[in-house]
Amino acid sequence: MITKVFVELKIENNTAIITIDNPPVNALSNQIVLELEQAIEAVEQNTELQSLIITGAGTKAFVGGADIKQFLTMTPESCYETVKTGQRVFERVSNLEIPVIAAIEGFALGGGCELALACDIRIAGEKAKFGLPEVGLGLIPGYGGSQRLPRILGSGKAYELIFSGDIIDASEAYRIGLVNNLVPNGEALGHAQAFVSKIQSKAPLAIKAAKKAIKQGIALPLDEAFELEARVVSDLCSTEDQKEGARAFLAKEKPKFQGK
């Protein structure tokens, strides 16, 4: 287990769990963003890991947003550097080969919502709240939110949420597709761990390949995306796991995948 001042990384059953712990609302400071990057780097280097869960300590907030005090003294130059750092770290989250699941309780606002958007799957407790309220501070989302939100929800809903700065509850977030699963309050982490167990029952190389095909393909013209898909599938046909999956299916047995 690696423990930082505000960010904890622990490993359980080939799953990394990153917990942001900065009471009272787990606000993102520059220090926390850099600690998060250190944790992500450790995840990148651990080839045994099959999934990552990101969560916030307690049930009051996943991440309640940025540390607003830092904006009082920012210059355009320091603001640019801060934004580029946040974008870099959140993109490292998004670019991990393994699935990344956000387990969200309480507030996921501003940078917290943007961190959730950088994850592949979002599981939220029923009392969670989501929003990008930056326009009320004279800003816009700067850690990727203005770009990821329209890719997830479409430009119309992204305009609505960013222009208004509205905070929506978990049921509305689930209705519009911002959240994948809505669970009882306090149970987001447990449900994320159960989902991870389901993922880890599948072929790990195939899971990584599926993420690659989706993430890279969505930015390509359809004909190029089909070519990417064909190459990814053909590469998997050379793996031992693919042969084991077919063998076990025909034998009506549970496959024993080795990640090879």
Q: Are residues 191 and 239 in the same domain?
A: no
Distance of CA 89 to the CA centre of its chain: 12
pLDDT per residue as tens digits for the range 180-214: 999 999 999 999 999 999 999 999 999 999 999 99
Active-site residue list: 114, 134
Overall number of domains in the chain:
2
Query: 11 lies in which domain range?
Result: 2-200
Instruction: Read off the pTM.
Output: 0.93
Amino acid 112: pLDDT: 96
pLDDT band per the 50, 70, 90 thresholds, residue 2: very low
Coil, strand or helix at 121: strand
Residue 246 lies in a domain: yes
Question: Do 152 and 212 belong to one domain?
Answer: no
Q: Which of 184, 200, 216 is the last residue of a domain?
A: 200
CATH (domain of 219): 1.10.12.10
Grade residue 14 by pLDDT with cuts at 50, 70 and 90: very high
- Whether residue 258 lies inside any domain: the answer is no
> Residue 90, CB half-sphere, CA atoms under 13 Å: how many?
25
The two tokens of residue 258 are: 């080795």
Residue with tokens 């490292």: 92
